[in-house]
Structure 1
Amino acid sequence: MLKDVLQKLRLHPQDPLQIHGYQTYGTDDHLYLIGRALEDEGVNLDKTGFANAFKNAYKQFRSDELPNAKLKIRLSDDRVFYTKTDLEGYFKVDQEVDGLRELTNDQGWLQLELGYDDENQKRLIQNDNRFPGQMLIPSKKAEYGVISDIDDTILRTGVTSLLKWRVIFNTLFTDVGNRTPFKGAASFYNKLHLGKSGEASNPMFYVSNSPWNLYHYLQAFIKNNNFPKGAILLRDFRTPFDRTPKPEKPHKQHEIRNILNTYPEMQFVLIGDSGEHDADIYIEIAEEFPEQIKAIYLRSVNHEKRVFRVRGLLERFEVTPALLVKESVMAEDHARELDLIQ
């Protein structure tokens, strides 16, 4: 019986199962969780070296998901909720739940426990069927929020290189411990996190077009390089054979609008780069939500034509303060003039 179930799920009987609970965001009465149920491929980001980096990248992208798996979510006050994965193994819980803020820590993080709710799968499950999940509820001390891109904004990626070869090389052959942040970026982000008061716990949201397959890689980079902890919002890695519907709106616009609509009384700082479409996206967002955007910072990438284009866009943009910077210290000085940081 178990063997038949596993064959239908395209899994091997010897492979343990796991649940990835992603760092999401919500409110005191809105539970919003996303994650994925899949096989444990044995990814170990602590192993360094060229070969281990490639092996980890391969394992992250060849993940075997669990479609239609029944899951349960338990809060620290023992309330339990149920959900089911889609055809790609992803799950989403999006519902009204009271009294969530009371369960958060001093930084606003709600700790959850995820597990399988299927007796046929429990023999293969690690961690006694207990997997962590986290949801951010902005602190009442928050002065504003920060929404940031990742690639070529805090992480040197090479997205403007010919055929994006540097992105491919770094993703496949560079372990997370050898990925370098931009000088001063972590310090600037921590100052934004603490705000003008120095103790604000401003919520951080990292929004990237990178696929969910790289979630733990990027989570480790953020943690290892002392960037403030925040919600991490990536996208599905689509192939020509995808069985899930294609999103109606581009990923970044969709995620940023969701954040702004979730916290309509909160203002935000947007941070990106001049490498691809951040300038266009942020200008569009600021024009749509002019009262919610306090400032826009775009890191200048090493690409003359793109920098020239972005500089022209910003010269005509008057909705909110916007700055193209080469160094984090330039953004930091500007943010201090706007009373965003100490």
Structure 2
Amino acid sequence: MAVLRRVTSFAKRLAHVVAKPMKGDSGRGGMVVHPYRGYGSQRQVFLMGRVFHQAALGRAIPRRGMLRDTADIVRRIARRGLNQAHIHIRLGENTLDVVTDRDGYFYAHLPLNTPLPIEVSWHRAHLHVTADNEAPVRAQAEIYIPPPETDLLVISDIDDTVMYTGVADKIRMLYRLFVKKPHRRTAFPGVATLYQALHRGSTDRQERPILYVSRGPWAIYEMLEAFFQLNRIPVGPILFLREWGLTWRHPWPRRAEEHKRDLINHMLELFEDMPCILIGDSGQHDPEVYADIVKAYPDRIKAVYIRRVDKKPAREKAIQKLRDDISYTQCDLVLAPDSTLMAEHAYSQGEISAWGVEAVRRDVDEHIKAENEK
């Protein structure tokens, strides 16, 4: 009976999370727009999102509960991206008009001909969306622009890099993401202090941008925000690579490697000559994707930090070969068993302060001590 209760609880929570993106229309249906957080430089910004048409909720369906979640899941599966929807984007005095592609996605590269205030990093874009036979919709999107004096960009994976998700074990990953509460989806020891140190730089007073990419779906966005806040991890735009394919045509997640490579290329192009550090894990394709990025930008990628999430000899040998392949560049590929080695390398390169590396060591040591006392 206890097992049945856990399975039932898992199913209910999973259903609620999958249904959550449908709650915003209060069951009315029609056209909706889901903008992602944007990012950019003082010269241009990048913003993407998706426009849908979704069915209305039947009057007999209750406002909450499993029946409502089930109905919203059906609506989510049946919704369709709106082709050729028109999006008017305004950011300060800068404007741009774009249209959605056949799947309802829009991609906007907005030149900043009129400068934005440099004393703030987060800006708000206003969207006005129209489409044939649909009521117009207004929405807002947050745009992150780092300060002009920024000297380093950090791009990090999330899954099995910042937090335990068990990507290699799909059932465990789903359990961690959809059943455990955010504060129990444990961050790797030392991650918070490492990312704080990278954010503050060698002077402890800088405000470097940290941009995150994930293999996860848009549905877990709120969970990740709560996780970052609870673990005191510097927040940046969380860029989901793909829909998880909840449509009749694509019932399974799409491959992520090309999407990740494209997103990182976009970031590097937007931030032009700014040096960069890439952080990922050894479990999936991060080392291969990052090595390709290093080859494309040999003078800009200062380091690649790969968290070792397993001890398979064949995988370590493959990563060693990637390290050899990029040895002609100035980039170091560091395969690290914990956050301490990453911090020590960053300190040796002058990227974080002595206080920062000591904070990481202390956090990792305290975790090891607590584990040994169990």
Please indicate the TM-score interval, normalised by the length of the shorter structure. Answer: 0.7 to 0.9
Q: What corresponds to 2:28 in structure 1?
A: 14
Asked whether the 8 Å contact 1:272–1:279 carries over to 2, the reply is yes
For 1:35-67, what per-residue CA distance to the aligned partner results, in whole angstroms no more than 9, with x for missing partners? Answer: 12346999xxxxxxxx8xx98x96996483551
1:157 partner letter: T
Q: Cα distance, 1:221 vs. partner?
A: 2.9
Query: Is 1:331 aligned to residue 342 of structure 2?
Result: yes
Structural mapping, 1:1-342, within 5 Å = 14-15=28-29, 18-38=32-52, 62=77, 64-68=79-83, 69-77=85-93, 79-100=94-115, 102-103=116-117, 105-106=119-120, 108-117=121-130, 121-122=134-135, 130-161=138-169, 164-237=170-243, 238=245, 241=249, 250-305=258-313, 307-310=315-318, 312-313=320-321, 316=324, 317-318=326-327, 319=329, 320-342=331-353
Q: Cα distance, 1:294 vs. partner?
A: 0.9
Percentage identity across aligned positions?
Answer: 29
Asked whether the 8 Å contact 2:323–2:332 carries over to 1, the reply is no
Asked whether the 8 Å contact 1:104–1:111 carries over to 2, the reply is no
Asked whether the 8 Å contact 1:32–1:93 carries over to 2, the reply is yes
Q: What corresponds to 1:45 in structure 2?
A: none
Change (3 A) 1:338 1:80: closer
1:110 partner letter: H
Q: What is the TM-score of this pair, normalised by structure 2?
A: 0.70
Change (3 A) 1:74 1:311: closer
2-structure distance, mates of 1:41, 1:32: 32
Asked whether the 8 Å contact 1:19–1:115 carries over to 2, the reply is no
1:198 partner letter: D
2:201 partner letter: G
Q: Cα distance, 1:248 vs. partner?
A: 12
Asked whether the 8 Å contact 2:118–2:148 carries over to 1, the reply is no
Q: Cα distance, 1:232 vs. partner?
A: 2.4
Which protein is richer in helix relative to its size?
Answer: 2
Segments of 4+ moved more than 4 angstroms: 38-42, 57-63, 118-122, 246-249
Q: Cα distance, 1:23 vs. partner?
A: 1.6
Q: What corresponds to 1:4 in structure 2?
A: none
2-structure distance, mates of 1:252, 1:280: 11
Q: Cα distance, 1:158 vs. partner?
A: 0.5
Once superposed, what is the RMSD of the aligned Cα atoms?
3.6
2-structure distance, mates of 1:16, 1:224: 35
SS at match of 1:147: strand
Q: Cα distance, 1:12 vs. partner?
A: 10
User: Which shifted more, 331-340 or 304-313?
Assistant: 304-313
2-structure distance, mates of 1:214, 1:61: 15
2-structure distance, mates of 1:28, 1:92: 19
SS at match of 2:215: strand
2-structure distance, mates of 1:20, 1:225: 26
Asked whether the 8 Å contact 1:35–1:91 carries over to 2, the reply is yes
Change (3 A) 1:289 1:66: closer
Change (3 A) 1:156 1:135: same
SS at match of 1:202: coil
SS at match of 1:165: helix
Q: Cα distance, 1:130 vs. partner?
A: 4.7
Asked whether the 8 Å contact 1:144–1:268 carries over to 2, the reply is yes
Change (3 A) 1:41 1:284: farther
**Larger Rg: 1 or 2?**
2
User: Which shifted more, 65-74 or 187-196?
Assistant: 65-74
Q: Cα distance, 1:182 vs. partner?
A: 1.0
Change (3 A) 1:143 1:27: closer
2-structure distance, mates of 1:327, 1:63: 43
2-structure distance, mates of 1:284, 1:14: 46
SS at match of 1:250: helix
For 1:108-165, what per-residue CA distance to the aligned partner results, in whole angstroms no more than 9, with x for missing partners? Answer: 222212233469655xx8xxx653312222321211100111110002110123xx32
1:23 partner letter: R
| Structure 1: 5+ residue stretches without partners | 1-10, 43-50
1-structure distance, mates of 2:240, 2:101: 17
SS at match of 1:210: coil
Asked whether the 8 Å contact 1:58–1:172 carries over to 2, the reply is no
1-structure distance, mates of 2:74, 2:109: 29
2-structure distance, mates of 1:194, 1:326: 23
Q: What corresponds to 2:4 in structure 1?
A: none
Length, aligned pairs only: 310
SS at match of 2:216: strand
Higher RCO by CA contacts (8 Å cutoff, separation 6 or greater): 1
2:272 partner letter: P
